[in-house]
């Protein structure tokens, strides 16, 4: 009977992982293509401000996620996560003013930030022998959750209105909450007492900060910063070198969709590699090549886009390192929270620095030189991040 409940619980959690992963970007991408429709109905709507909320919210609330898990356990915390998503997405379509709209959006983003941070360490608890496979599924579904809402929103806004286009994702969030509710009820004693007591009794663990910072910088400098900088600036740059709007849209689609390949492969192979640092070297080579290419040979931008996408293999690599470099779910949660805080904060700075250098010099030369330097710095962080060891190892080993 105990074994049957355990298997049933694992199956429920797997469904929860799939449904939750599909909800971790909806508040952002469902809105991005219909700003003008929303602005016409919401008094004082500020596109610039609403555009900065996701990265800041993911950073701050992601840092708080381990505290939530320590208090309630991962299952209840993920239930709270999806409830926040549901409430935030549901309430913001009712807001007549931008203050209410932004506040509701922050609630939804808080829920998504909790999910961003807590799902990877959950894999260690429920799928210890299949972490790579589950991480690959998670990474792919993140890509799906980033692309699907924008397509549906843009297709339905003119026929059903923006409130339907945005509000439909509240229902998806509610559905994603159900597996975590079922798991909480199925194992209510273990979830609410055993896990909570265990985390409280080790409320002051000592983690290796050198490893933690290296993985965080790998995720931020090697992944989030270049990705969000290119998402923000590549369309504008391609327009200045003569590409049409249709071609730019197709290039950006390729840039995003080709990431699915390395999202599947990297989590499956990095744990089996004797020298995983080679993956980081490959990523830096691809990133550096593409930035030089965009800068000096923009006429071949179709090729650079195709090469640029796998250059972001540092992102799924970091996701997998959260588990590979930790012995416990708590250690993985710590790595995940710090890395995502650093990553998303750097993601806000990358486009600003890139744009400032462009405005200061009047061209993109220093902007692309900045990106090349960032890529080369990843070699240092990546080397330390991929060294053998665990974040829970005694701090004496750092010296």
pLDDT at res. 399 = 43
Could you report the per-residue pLDDT of 154-202, keeping only the tens digit for each?
777 778 888 888 888 899 999 999 999 998 887 765 554 444 444 444 4
Whether residues 270 and 369 share a domain: the answer is yes
In a domain, 399, yes or no: no
pTM score of the predicted model:
0.83
In a domain, 196, yes or no: yes
Whether residues 220 and 367 share a domain: the answer is yes
In a domain, 352, yes or no: yes
Whether residues 8 and 127 share a domain: the answer is yes
Write down the mean pLDDT value for the chain. 85
Query: Of 180, 201, 222, which residue is a domain's last?
Result: 201
Q: Which domain holds residue 38?
A: 2-201
Whether residues 180 and 239 share a domain: the answer is no
Whether residues 287 and 305 share a domain: the answer is yes
pLDDT at res. 284 = 95
pLDDT at res. 5 = 54
Query: Of 201, 220, 249, which residue is a domain's last?
Result: 201
Whether residues 132 and 257 share a domain: the answer is no
In a domain, 193, yes or no: yes
pLDDT at res. 376 = 94
CATH number for the domain including 368? 1.20.1250.20
Low-confidence ranges of the chain (pLDDT < 70): 1-8, 32-33, 150, 188-205, 394-399
Could you report the per-residue pLDDT of 39-58, keeping only the tens digit for each?
888 888 887 778 788 889 99
Q: Total domain count for the chain?
A: 2
pLDDT at res. 7 = 65
pLDDT at res. 156 = 78
Whether residues 167 and 184 share a domain: the answer is yes
In the chain, the percentage of residues whose pLDDT exceeds 90 is: 42
Whether residues 319 and 253 share a domain: the answer is yes
In a domain, 284, yes or no: yes
d(CA 336, CA 215): 9
Whether residues 112 and 193 share a domain: the answer is yes
Structure tokens at 42: 């919401």
In a domain, 398, yes or no: no
In a domain, 104, yes or no: yes
Query: Of 150, 169, 201, which residue is a domain's last?
Result: 201
Whether residues 23 and 166 share a domain: the answer is yes
Whether residues 10 and 91 share a domain: the answer is yes
Structure tokens at 127: 């799928």
pLDDT at res. 371 = 95
In a domain, 397, yes or no: no
pLDDT at res. 394 = 58
Whether residues 150 and 267 share a domain: the answer is no
């Amino acid at each position: 009977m105990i074994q049957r409940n355990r298997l049933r619980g694992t199956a429920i959690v797997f469904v929860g992982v799939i449904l939750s992963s599909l909800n971790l970007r909806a508040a952002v991408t469902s809105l991005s293509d219909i700003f003008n429709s929303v602005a016409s109905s919401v008094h004082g709507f500020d596109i610039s401000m609403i555009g900065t909320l996701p990265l800041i919210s993911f950073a701050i609330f992601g840092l708080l996620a381990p505290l939530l898990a320590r208090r309630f356990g991962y299952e209840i915390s993920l239930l709270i996560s999806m409830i926040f998503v549901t409430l935030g997405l549901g309430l913001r379509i009712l807001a007549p003013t931008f203050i209410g709209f932004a506040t509701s959006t922050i609630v939804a983003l808080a829920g998504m930030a909790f999910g961003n941070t807590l799902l990877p360490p959950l894999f260690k608890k429920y799928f210890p022998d299949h972490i790579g496979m589950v991480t690959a599924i998670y990474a792919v579904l993140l890509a799906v959750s980033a692309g699907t809402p924008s397509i549906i929103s843009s297709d339905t806004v003119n026929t059903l209105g923006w409130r339907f286009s945005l509000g439909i994702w509240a229902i998806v969030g509610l559905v994603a909450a159900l597996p975590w509710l079922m798991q909480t009820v199925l194992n209510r004693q273990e979830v609410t007492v055993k896990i909570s007591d265990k985390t409280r009794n080790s409320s002051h663990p000592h983690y290796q900060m050198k490893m933690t910072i290296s993985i965080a910088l790998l995720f931020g400098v090697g992944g989030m910063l270049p990705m969000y900088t290119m998402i923000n600036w590549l369309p504008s740059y391609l327009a200045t070198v003569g590409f049409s709007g249709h071609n730019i849209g197709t290039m950006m689609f390729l840039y995003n969709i080709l990431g699915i390949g390395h999202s599947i492969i990297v989590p499956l192979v990095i744990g089996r590699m004797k020298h995983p640092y080679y993956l980081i070297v490959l990523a830096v080579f691809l990133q550096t090549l593409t930035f030089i290419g965009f800068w000096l040979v923009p006429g071949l931008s179709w090729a650079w886009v195709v090469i640029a996408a796998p250059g972001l293999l540092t992102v799924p690599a970091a996701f997998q390192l959260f588990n590979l470099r930790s012995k416990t779910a708590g250690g993985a949660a710590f790595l995940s929270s710090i890395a995502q805080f650093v990553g998303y904060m750097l993601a806000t700075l990358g486009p600003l620095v890139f744009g400032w250098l462009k405005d200061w010099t009047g061209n993109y030369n220093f902007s692309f030189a900045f990106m090349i330097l960032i890529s080369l710095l990843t070699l240092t962080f990546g080397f330390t991040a991929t060294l053998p060891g665990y974040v829970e190892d005694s701090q004496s080993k750092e010296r």
